[in-house]
Amino acid sequence: MGTKNISLLLNFHHPYIRHSDETVSAYVQENSLLFEKITNIYIPLLNMLSRFETEKAGVKIAVVFSTPLCSLLSDPVVKKQYVDYLDNLIAFGKKEVVRTKSIKEINSHSVQYLEKILETKRYFTEVYEENLLKYFGVFAKKGLIEILATCGSYMFMPHFTDMTEILNAQVETGLNSVRHYFGVNAEGFYLPELGYTAGIEKVLRMYGVNYTILPSQSFLLGQISPEKGIFAPARCYNCLSLFATDPLHLEYFENPVYKNKNKDISWELELEELKPFIKKGQARTSSGFCYWNNSFNESELNAKNIKKTEFIYNTENAMNQVELDAEDFVSSYKDKLEKAASILKDTDVSMTCVFDDQMLYKNWDEGLLWFEAIVKKFAEAEIKVTSFSELLFDKFALQKITPYFASGSAESYGEDYLSSKNGWMIRYLRKACERIVDLAGRFPDDTGLKVRLLNLGSRELLLALSSEWAKMIENNDYAEYAEKMFKDSIISFTAVFDALGSNTVSTEWLCNLEKDHPIYPWMNFRIFSKKH
């Protein structure tokens, strides 16, 4: 019987939300979501990798960091805002410890969370030197993680497969991003929202990409069905290797013993009591001070006259449940792999699971602890936690298949990126894409101010192409803000186009926008040129 393998991929992305006007506030509501991820995912993940290194765990995890996220994590303005955010949260936490002093069970949690924030600040400023990406790069070079590239602006690729130059620019920018921020080359490429359609494989191979990951239905519904199903990699006609995801429907976070993140104290207290974390004029955002478990029910509490303390979060119970849920998850995959191995005799079998930061944190405070537990339990179950590249030791022995159009979003076909709510965006994007390709051909050898304009226009177009704006509008998640960000980028790109047409430009406007959007520092507009 062959080896049983599991590949675990963590997909991290955040829209490019950057505000440098610190006279308004030390941080803005939209970026507080990023700061929560830094506190509860990225720093704890680095600590987890350090433990794996110390324990010589022999595991390798795949990770994707989108370029907008990398730009934010490396931005001095955003770093300062994050430290200010922590300082304000610490000051509020100290007040909260005093406020809860009379309720012993709650006070212990407020003390514990305050200690966590203090420790987080120490790790960010001292241990990781305010440079998280550098240390992820260190772990990549040590072989604990494998970093995959993704589109330069997390674009939904199937909408632009007839525009090869746009796909080229997105792939090239994504590969450059991995080299720039982590100092390594990416062998694999993660398709945003797992969106695939025929033609994408040509662009990936042209840039030397060895493999990508597809939704299981894309893998299975093509003209040629893979003989080993989703339990082994396959390849396209051009030798791009393909891995199929196993669809995940994690509902562990609903367990009654886990922390109730909807009962954050930030939504309960008067605004005056939330200072300095929430200042006058700011919208409320999560503080992380959550004291209740998921069984908390206000109406049931009042109807049955139950003591409120019975719903207080119990750390020990939650950690025990993490172990049980990790055991359940690993057991289910062990069964699948063993059944596959019994059918595919004397053959290595493998499966792929993709997790994102929403899945491991948004509704589940214990999500990353659970992830660490499953990594260890897979190893204990003699299932190798390995990277994708290590499973490609004989690429030419892989079966050739023809993948089918699909995605990992909505009902599997990416319809939430072209709906009645956001469909108006696509005509502006496609017209801007036609224009940038035209501009790249008209000004191939220009220098000076025109190059700065062209590079600025390229950056603004890439920002507009981010699928996150359409997703936020579709989900009504800061929809007005997403619409504004999209329109601002399209208007800025159009201003560049008009300036080049009229041969006039406001250097003040140009300098201000370059300062406000320092993303893609390596940008060269020629990435949009036609390739002959």
388-445 residue pLDDT tens: 999 998 888 899 999 999 888 767 788 888 899 999 999 999 999 999 999 999 988 7
Q: Is residue 1 predicted with pLDDT exceeding 80?
A: no
Indicate whether 205 pLDDT > 60. yes
Rounded Cα distance, 284 and 292, in Å: 19
pLDDT surpassing 80 at residue 208: yes
pLDDT reported for residue 90? 97
Confidence grade of residue 494 (pLDDT, cut at 50, 70, 90): very high
The pLDDT of 473-491, averaged and rounded, is: 93
pLDDT of residue 21: 65
pLDDT at 309: 72
Tens-place pLDDT, residues 113-163: 999 999 999 999 999 999 999 999 999 999 999 999 999 999 999 999 999
pLDDT in the model for residue 24:
42
C-alpha pair distances (Å), 199 with each of 164, 167, 224, 241, 371: 9, 10, 17, 14, 34
Query: Does residue 25 carry a pLDDT above 80?
Result: no
pLDDT over 70 at 509, yes or no: yes
DSSP at 231:
S
* H-assigned helices in 236-314: 298-304
Q: What is the pLDDT of residue 223?
A: 87
* pLDDT score for 299: 58
Query: Percentage of residues in the chain with pLDDT exceeding 90?
Result: 75
Report pLDDT for 320. Answer: 97
Q: Out of 141-150, 259-268, 312-321, 505-514, pick the least confident.
A: 505-514
Q: What is the pLDDT averaged over residues 500-509?
A: 83
CA–chain centroid gap for 41, Å, is 11
What's the number of CA atoms in the CB half-sphere (13 Å) around residue 262?
A: 8
Helix (H, G, I), strand (E, B) or coil at 295: coil
What region, left, alpha or beta, does residue 195 occupy, with left being phi > 0 and alpha being psi -120 to 50 degrees? beta
> pLDDT at residue 28 above 90?
no
User: What is the chain's mean pLDDT, rounded?
Assistant: 91
pLDDT at 30 over 70: no
Cα angle for residues 465, 470, 476 (degrees, 5° grid): 155
Of 23-27, 90-94, 115-119, minimum mean pLDDT range? 23-27
| pTM metric for this prediction | 0.94
- The C-alpha torsion from 494 through 498 and 503 to 506, rounded to 10°, is -60
Block residue for tokens 């590969």: 175
For residues 53 and 51, give the distance between their C-alpha atoms in angstroms, rounded to a whole number. 5
pLDDT at 532: 63
According to the model, what pLDDT value does residue 480 have? 92
Over residues 181-191, the pLDDT tens digits come to 999 999 999 99
**Would you say 371 and 360 are in contact if contact means Cβ atoms under 8 Å apart?**
yes
* CA angle centred on 418, ends 218 and 431, rounded to 5°: 110
